[in-house]
């Protein structure tokens, strides 16, 4: 009986190896640096995969959020596509209800639309963002209110 318990404990410990590896590096790209920018609340890591320039326009970057972390409201003059690679997050455009987004979702944010995105309160969240830069840099607005953050159903 004791042998059986040990086998179960050993097998259970092995079970968590692939899962934890998938959570820390599902895409294989580096998690990057902890952001010290003023345009978010909570911890967000940023990993630049391609600098947008005149030869090849879109900026490509991975962002990884601690549970509860969120960006302020903002606008992309050239739009943005988010490829969700880990966890569960919120996405909201001004005047619309916030919605829950998951790993495997593709979010298309049209040029000029005020919006925010962030992690849910109890799960990490990561995406690869593709952001054309030729029409201008991101315009940052006010922080997301607790009312908006807690409004998601």
Could you list the residues that contact a second copy (CB under 8 A)?
3-4, 7-8, 11-12, 14-15, 18-19, 21-22, 25-30, 49-50, 55-58, 60, 78-79, 81, 83-86, 102-104, 106, 108, 110-111, 128, 130, 132
- Closest separation between CB of residue 24 and a second copy, Å? 12
Least distance from C-beta 52 to a second copy, angstroms?
Answer: 10
Q: CB-wise, 78 or 118, nearer to a second copy?
A: 78
In angstroms, give the least distance from the CB of 41 to a second copy.
Answer: 26
Decide whether 100 or 110 has the Cβ nearer to a second copy.
110
User: Which is closer to a second copy, CB of 123 or CB of 148?
Assistant: 123
- Contact status, residue 81 vs residue 129, Cβ threshold 8 Å: yes
User: Exposed, middle or buried: residue 101 (CB in 10 Å: 0-12, 13-18, 19+)?
Assistant: buried
Contact at 8 Å (CB) between 60 and 71?
A: no
């Amino acid at each position: 009986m004791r042998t059986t318990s040990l086998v179960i404990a050993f097998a259970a410990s092995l079970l968590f190896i692939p899962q934890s590896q998938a959570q820390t590096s599902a895409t294989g790209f580096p998690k990057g640096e902890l952001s010290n920018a003023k345009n978010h609340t909570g911890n967000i890591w940023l990993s630049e995969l391609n600098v947008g320039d005149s030869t090849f326009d879109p900026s490509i970057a991975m962002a990884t959020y601690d549970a509860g972390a969120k960006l302020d409201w903002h606008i992309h003059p050239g739009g943005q596509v988010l490829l969700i690679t880990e966890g569960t997050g919120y996405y909201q455009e001004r005047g619309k209800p916030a919605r829950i987004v998951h790993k495997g979702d593709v979010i298309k944010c049209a040029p000029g639309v005020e919006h925010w995105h962030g992690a849910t309160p109890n799960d990490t969240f990561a995406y690869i963002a593709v952001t054309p830069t030729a029409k201008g840099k991101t315009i940052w607005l006010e922080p997301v209110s607790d009312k908006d953050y807690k409004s998601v159903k």
